[in-house]
Amino acid sequence: MDVTANISLGDPLEAARKATAEMLQTRERTYSLPQPFYNDERLFQIDMQEIFQKEWLIAGMTCEIPKKGNYLTLQIGNNPVLVVRGADNTINAFHNVCRHRGSRLCTGEKGKVAKLVCPYHQWTYELDGRLLYAGTEMGEDFDMKKFNLKPINVKTAGGYIFISLAENPPAIDEFLATLHHYMEPYDMENTKVAVQTTLMEKANWKLVLENNRECYHCSGSHPELLNTLLEWDDTHDPRATQEFKDHVAESAAKWEAEKIPYLHAGFGLRNRIVRMPLLKGTVSMTMDGKQGCSKLMGRIQNPDLGSMRILHLPHSWNHAMGDHLIVFTVWPISAQETMVTTKWLVHKDAVEGVDYDVARLREVWDATNDQDRRLAEENQRGINSTAYQPGPYSKTYEFGVVNFIDWYSARMLANLGAEPAPYLREVQIQSN
């Protein structure tokens, strides 16, 4: 039976959920996903319900809300979210929804408030979510304690703010402890966002991630990036040369001497941290390979720290260098539209125009992001064709894509409450 055909116009969402599980259970592991995973709106809704509303997501950086009352907002599917720094330096997260009639509380992307006041009818909340004022109009028997803001799970580590909309999100503390250790040299509380960009891509979010998880396309598409980037994440990569392995060993000896964490740390297929050197003679992801910011981060003394690569599925990759950090997050908008945000962070005391130039800092990744956008959009256009059928991944060049799809398939089946596919049983264990 062709289970792909089960995703047809008019089917209720529950039938689509069943068909989604069947397709994942019967697909060929080393092939791309069936077409509906990339262009069907009902399957997109399932992605939002079972992945983006249940997994841990990076909401932002702690330095973006440095003081009491600072907040940031974001949108996860239909869910507006509010993250605010409260008393005692605590970071809280809530559904950005007033408990009166459901209006959004904070409408700006970022800001600073003394209290959280709904602009509709002025219901007022403390920064910890407690309802403080609803007006006498609600009557004498109105119990304000029953109408506090609805909280969202939130954790912080290494300057990152993680949130999960799930009631019981998956375990993440082991990864966060390691992230805290690896980010210690950067002193992330004393950083700032030098510049941020938002790119809209007319492609499914999984295509954006698949493109990121391989460098098979790099030599033909990313000349600016390859001025500094070495594509291998690990000396065990089957394509890694002896020259590359020697370069890693030489760099690691210097990092060891300076007590800079660098060893590969993996947490199933969801999270990975590893420091890899950049091309010899380069120290930062700029066009000429020289520092993008003259003031180094945290306690770092040596600009030649390569790039510490941080992966967080389902939606983020990062590059941490000695002079600046780049944070990428992917936010699904619809079945065939995705928003990619990029943030460049530097030392908080670095002065624009003196220590760094914004145009120079973002030049490489502006070009690379736009090149990746075009690739993903062309990928989407082809997949929409009646001629599309899943194609084989390269076991050497695209193993990172296979890992991402393995993780996605395992988490989707688990969150749907479906039986794991035989080919994913080991992956499922590693991903929980």
**CATH classification of the domain holding 215:** 3.90.380.10
Let me know whether 126 and 116 are in one domain. Answer: yes
Looking at the domain assignment, is residue 179 inside a domain?
no
Bridge-partner residues for 347, per DSSP? 191
Query: Based on the domain organization, do 208 and 137 belong to the same domain?
Result: no
What whole-number distance in Å separates Cα of residue 319 and Cα of residue 274?
10
Q: Within 10 A of 27 (CB to CB), how many other CB atoms are there?
A: 20
Q: Which residue type does 152 have? A: I
Residues 122 and 137 sit within 8 Å (Cβ to Cβ): no
240 and 288 assigned to the same domain: yes
The answer to whether residues 96 and 241 belong to one domain is: no
In terms of domains, do 412 and 288 share one? Answer: yes
HSE of 315, CA atoms in CB hemisphere, 13 A = 28
Q: Is the peptide bond before 314 cis (omega within 30 degrees of 0)?
A: yes
CA distance 196 to 342: 6
* Residue 265 sits in the same domain as residue 331: yes
SS3 of residue 244 by DSSP: helix
Report the CATH number at residue 131. Answer: 2.102.10.10
Q: Are residues 259 and 276 in the same domain?
A: yes
Can you give the pLDDT at residue 10? 52
Give average pLDDT by consecutive 10-residue segment, the chain, 432 residues: 51 87 96 98 97 98 98 97 95 98 96 97 97 89 95 98 97 98 98 98 98 94 95 75 90 95 95 96 97 98 96 98 98 98 98 98 98 98 98 94 97 95 70 48
Q: Which of 133, 164, 195 is the last residue of a domain?
A: 164
Tally: H helices and E strands in the chain? 10, 17
176 in any annotated domain: no
Could you tell me if 96 and 37 lie in one domain?
no
**What's the pLDDT at 427?**
64
Q: What is the DSSP letter of 421?
A: P
Three-class SS state of 81: strand
- φ/ψ region of 102 (left if φ > 0, alpha if ψ in -120 to 50, else beta) reads left
- Which strands sit side by side in the sheet containing 271-276, from one edge to the other? 191-201, 337-347, 325-334, 316-320, 307-312, 271-276, 265-267
| Cβ count near 291 (within 10 Å) | 21
Number of structural domains in the chain:
2
Instruction: Lay out the sheet containing 124-125: strands in order across.
Output: 116-117, 124-125, 131-133
Rounded CA-CA distance 352/220 in Å is 34
Residues 282 and 407 in one domain: yes
* Euclidean distance between CA atoms 22 and 421, whole angstroms: 9
Tokens representing 192? 């700032």
Q: How far apart are CA 52 and CA 54, in angstroms?
A: 6
- 321: in domain: yes
Q: Which helix (H) or strand (E) holds 154?
A: strand 153-157
- The per-residue pLDDT for 236 is 73
Q: What is the pTM of this model?
A: 0.94
Distance CA 388, CA 4 (A): 12
- pLDDT in the model for residue 137: 86
- Domain hosting 195: range is 1-55+186-432
| Assigned domain for 300 exists | yes
Contact 110, 103 (CB under 8 A): no
In angstroms, rounded to a whole number, what is the distance separating the alpha carbons of residues 218 and 211?
10
Residue ending a domain, among 114, 132, 164, is 164
Pair of tokens at residue 164 = 């999960």
Same domain, 158 and 250: no
